[in-house]
Structure 1
Amino acid sequence: MTVQRFRCRVSGAILSLLAGMPTAAFAHPHIFVDARFEAIAGADGTLLELRDTWHFDDLFSSSVVMDFDKNGNSVLDGAELTTVAGTVRDSLAQYDYYTSITVNGKKVPLARPDTIHATYENGSLILSFSQKPARRTPLKGLIVFGVYDPTLYTALDFLKDDALKTTGEGFKRCTRKVVRPGSDDILAANQAMLTTLFFSDPQGTDYSQIVATRLEVRC
Structure 2
Amino acid sequence: MLRILLPTVSVLALMPAVAQAHPHVFADARLEIVASSSGTIEELHNIWRFDEVFSSSVLMDFDKNTNLKLDPPELEEIGKTVLASLEEFSYYTTLTVDGKNIAVSKPDVIHVDYKDGQLLMFFAIKPAASMPLKGKLTFGVYDPTLYASIDFPNDSDVVLMGDFKGCKSAVVRPDPDEVLKENQANLTQAFFDDPAGTNMSKLFATRMEISC
Matched, 1:202 2:193: yes
Q: Which residue of 2 aligns with 1:11?
A: 6
Q: Alpha carbons of 1:172 and 1:118: their partners in 2 closer, same or farther (altered >3 Å)?
A: same
**What code does the residue aligned with 2:72 have?**
G
Cα separation, 1, equivalents of 2:25 and 2:52: 10
Alignment partner, residue 59 of structure 1: 53
Distance, in Å, in 2 between the alignment partners of 1:203 and 1:66 is 31
Secondary structure of the residue aligned to 1:24 is coil
Q: Which runs of 4+ in 1 moved over 3 A?
A: 198-201
Gaps of 5+ in 1: 16-21
Q: Deviations over 1:155-187 (max 9, x none)?
A: 001000011111101x12211111111122112
The aligned amino acid for 2:171 is V
Equivalent residues, number: 205
Partner of 1:187: 180
Q: Which residue pairs with 1:125 in the alignment?
A: 119
Which residue in the other structure is 2:80 paired with?
A: 86
Question: Which amino acid is the alignment partner of residue 13 of structure 2?
Answer: A
TM-score (norm 1): 0.88
CA RMSD of aligned residues (A): 1.8
Corresponding position: 1:151 with 2:112: no
Residue 28 of structure 1: CA displacement? 2.8
The yes-or-no answer on 1:24 pairing with 2:13 is yes
SS at match of 2:183: helix
2:204 aligned with 1:215 = no
AA in 2 matched with 1:166: L
Q: Percent identity?
A: 45
- Measure the CA separation in 1 of the matches of 2:90 and 2:72: 26
2:111–2:122 CA contact under 8 A, matched in 1? yes
Distance in 2, matches of 1:167 and 1:161, equals 15
Q: CA deviation at 1:138?
A: 0.7
Q: Report the TM-score, using the length of structure 2 for normalisation.
A: 0.91
| Structure 2 match to 1:178 | 171
1:156 aligned counterpart, secondary structure: strand
Amino acid at match of 1:173: G
**Unmatched 5+ residue regions in structure 2?**
none
Question: 1:192 and 1:165 mapped to 2: Cα distance?
Answer: 35
CA distance in 1, matches of 2:83, 2:192: 26
**Does structure 1 conserve the Cα–Cα contact (< 8 Å) formed by 2:12 and 2:195?**
no
Partner AA of 1:211 in structure 2: F
